[in-house]
Structure 1
């Protein structure tokens, strides 16, 4: 698995076919009902080829979650040297947009899959926030664990609020979401 040349155009094309097939299947078929055979048939590959690229459908879901989320990250967030109101706003909006897009595409029929996606996105948020805080800290923050805890809490707060906003049906009022969450997060970071 993953032993093939990562830059080979054929490898990249095969992975793209697998991801597209999986996304197509998620639109009308629940995750639990999707088999590797379904994915392989839709991608016009054999099962062995699937397994040469991904361990199982859980690994595929995790990779798709990661790639889709990373595609939404604006350059200003990637290059941020400080966790500002603007960066916080960007993270809130991209998290909310990701959640809306994800649940419009996927039929989530499994709590374990729901949890996997939640945890993956929260972890990516935590890593981004931690990186921003460490980039802006000229003193090389002595207590890296403190930074990790703050980043985990901040990422969880942003994700949880965006998810709640989505499930409560407030998809269109992102201005209220941003105002509420940004105030909470930024005040918490100033303590």
Structure 2
């Protein structure tokens, strides 16, 4: 019986999340109402409030899930070898590919601007802890270098999403790695 309830609970949360994401395509989170989410999901408002406080809480839970997934991906790889760095980036890009619609919405102007900042902070902490220590980057410079690298990578990923994933995750991982490791010097080859 509890498995059935868990399955129903998972289904309810899934359709509520999908409904919010769908609404964020056309309007900012501040204009989305719980009533709209429930109508789209075909879920009773009291059921919504059993799971979430409001539309902002629902969005935060979606973002937390993605952040947790990304942290798991990042922690399963080491950036000490370039091939592993490319492989880790490729895995992240495959995750984004598999969740393309959600990322397109969460990184657009209608969603929470803190989502992008949260993703940047996760990546920056990971880079500062792993890669910077390996390459003996001074602590005072590591914050700026990680901001530069992560901001560039996120904007490249946003552009890739805008271009309907016109390159494979593997091609994009190599490009991002090349941009990060070689900067503009790769143009002089």
Given that 1:82 and 1:132 are in contact with CA atoms closer than 8 Å, whether structure 2 keeps it comes out as yes
Q: Provide the rounded CA distance (Å) in 1 between the counterparts of 2:102 and 2:17.
A: 8
Structure 2: where are the runs of 5+ without partners?
A: 1-5, 184-189
Where do residues 94-109 of structure 1 align in structure 2 (5 Å cutoff)?
94-105=91-102, 108=105
Q: Provide the rounded CA distance (Å) in 2 between the counterparts of 1:24 and 1:17.
A: 11
Partner of 1:25: 19
Q: Provide the rounded CA distance (Å) in 2 between the counterparts of 1:175 and 1:80.
A: 16
Q: Does 1:164 align with 2:162?
A: no
Where do residues 29-48 of structure 1 align in structure 2 (5 Å cutoff)?
29-30=23-24, 32=27, 34-39=32-37, 42=41, 46=46, 48=49
Q: Does 1:66 align with 2:60?
A: no
Using structure 2 for the length normalisation, give the TM-score: 0.63
Which stretches of structure 1, 4 residues or longer, exceed 6 Å deviation after superposition? 12-15
Q: Provide the rounded CA distance (Å) in 1 between the counterparts of 2:103 and 2:86.
A: 26
Paired residues, what number? 171
The 1:15/1:122 distance shift into structure 2, 3 A limit, reads farther
**Post-superposition CA distance 1:124-176 (Å, at most 9, x none):** 22222223236647x8x762x42222222221222111221221234443333
Partner of 2:118: 120
Q: Provide the rounded CA distance (Å) in 1 between the counterparts of 2:80 and 2:182.
A: 12
The 1:95/1:142 distance shift into structure 2, 3 A limit, reads same
The 1:72/1:108 distance shift into structure 2, 3 A limit, reads closer
Over aligned residue pairs, what C-alpha RMSD do you find?
Answer: 4.0
The 1:105/1:147 distance shift into structure 2, 3 A limit, reads closer
The answer to which of 90-99 and 151-160 deviates more is 90-99
**Aligned partner of 2:149 among 145, 154, 157:** 154
Using structure 1 for the length normalisation, give the TM-score: 0.62
